[in-house]
Amino acid sequence: MNHSTTAFKTREQLQNFLGELSPHFSKPAAKFVGEMLYGIQKAQDVKLSGIARAIDAPISMKKQEDRLSRMLADPEIEETLCGLIPRLGARRVHSDTLIVIDPPDIRKLYAEKMEFLAKVRDGSTGETGNGYTLCLAVACESGGRTFTPLNLRLWSTAAPGFTSQNAEILGIIDRIHAHTKRRGIYVMDRGGDGDRLFDALHERGLDHIVRLVGNRSLRRGKRAALASEWAAGCAMKHTEVVKRETRSGVETYELQYGVVDVALPQRPEVPLRMVVVRGFGDAPMMLLTTRAQTDSRKALWQVVEGCLTRWRVEDALRFIKQSYNLEDIRVLRYQRMKNMLALLLAVVYFGGVWLAGRLRLEVLTSNITHAAKRIYGVSEFLYYAVADGIGRLLNRHGRWVDRREVLKKDDSNPLGLLFSG
């Protein structure tokens, strides 16, 4: 399959994907969503100027950019896409699928006029600066390298109506839960260690694996103590060796792990288990879970591996930031930023799931990654190659055509838009 044919089939699949989305929008919004998904992938950027150039409409750049900016203010876009993508992704969520939720941040150190800038803390350096909080939710299988994006949202602690991070995360869980029901295991880092989130998970009957902070109070029988105290007395019955890819290379860890029966002070009637893991540092890693029904190696390792698979969300976030230049987002208004993240969620779903995640499109995906011209071939984490390949193909073959330029309307096109070239 030559590159021109690959580009045509890729655009055809984008039309099919838009056909799933467009019935839920008004006609102007559906047209705008189609243009943006095409433009973001072609430009591999979220700056409106780059997207406007990629769309290459027969109007001046200034008018095109102003039009895109005006349309980007529509709150319908975020609300609709953040409801549709979890619905589509729910088909890939099974009872043991991990639903990883992580709220990192996006720092805008030199921005002054962006709306509702707030203080955020860089988790890797500990430094604080202006920016926004993101929350990425992905579904993946334990130990796997692929992921299904379910939600990508942005919020500011300085925005009107903001109540708490727990409330924002719970809103994302409810959006996902509305389509997955009780399927999946929710995995969260220490940011998920909050009474409100635990209560919400238990009320909804959702399985979870949550990494605890050391000062979390837990009960064993009638006695309450800090989680770190219970972890100190936990018997490490099992050992496992794991390897992790880091920026400095592959690191090897020898992990020892065991389990303690515990309960939350506010819900002593709900039996939980705390899996304790040593080997990542001086302090043990403590995982509160509804899983691990026995003390067997297999049951406990499922919990440990589930937490380790949480690193996939870091891979996914790094891919999104690097492949689409997310940290260079330039829109000034808060709602426009939220909408841009929702559009980017749809872009990532299209490339990573609609194309790369479907067996019948395996040949097309292979040709797309080949078009990326990667020096060292395609890695196991193939999403970078898919994004690069789509970008190259859309740049070299064809452009987006407004339906007003089409002499004969194509009734099979749900957006009333065609590709030329």
Question: In the 3-class helix/strand/coil scheme, how is 33-79 assigned residue by residue?
Answer: HHHHHHHHHHHCCCCHHHHHHHHCCCCCHHHHHHHHHHHCCCCHHHH
Q: Where exactly are the structural domains of the chain?
A: 3-77+359-420, 79-315
pLDDT tens per residue, range 145-180:
789 999 999 999 999 999 999 999 999 999 999 999
What pLDDT sits at residue 364?
A: 62
Round to whole Å and give the CA distance between 122 and 104: 8
For strand 98-102 and strand 185-188, is the pairing parallel, antiparallel, or unpaired?
parallel
What pLDDT sits at residue 412?
A: 47
What pLDDT sits at residue 408?
A: 44
Q: Is the dihedral of CA 327, 329, 334, 339 positive or negative?
A: negative
What pLDDT sits at residue 398?
A: 67
Instruction: Give the pLDDT band (50/70/90) at residue 383.
Output: confident
pLDDT tens per residue, range 77-135:
999 999 999 999 999 999 999 999 998 889 898 888 999 999 998 766 667 889 999 99
Cα 184 to its chain centre, rounded Å, is 16
pLDDT tens per residue, range 208-219:
999 998 899 999
Mean pLDDT along residues 54-67: 91
pTM above 0.85, yes or no: yes
What pLDDT sits at residue 405?
A: 42
| Distance spanning both ends of the chain, measured CA to CA | 17
CATH class of the structural domain 79-315: alpha beta
What pLDDT sits at residue 226?
A: 95
pLDDT tens per residue, range 6-49:
888 888 899 999 999 999 999 999 999 999 999 999 999 999 99
> In the structure encoding, which two tokens stand for residue 200, read together?
């919400």
What pLDDT sits at residue 21?
A: 96
383-396 and 27-43 helices, crossing angle to 10°: 100
Instruction: Give the pLDDT band (50/70/90) at residue 403.
Output: very low
420 pLDDT higher than 60? no
- Name which residue leads in pLDDT, 371 or 162: 162
276 pLDDT higher than 60? yes
Mean pLDDT along residues 350-375: 67
pLDDT tens per residue, range 227-270:
999 999 999 999 999 887 766 777 888 999 999 999 999 999 99
pLDDT tens per residue, range 305-330:
999 888 777 888 889 999 999 999 99
Please, which residues have CB within 8 angstroms of residue 301's CB and are 6 or more apart in sequence? 238, 240, 257
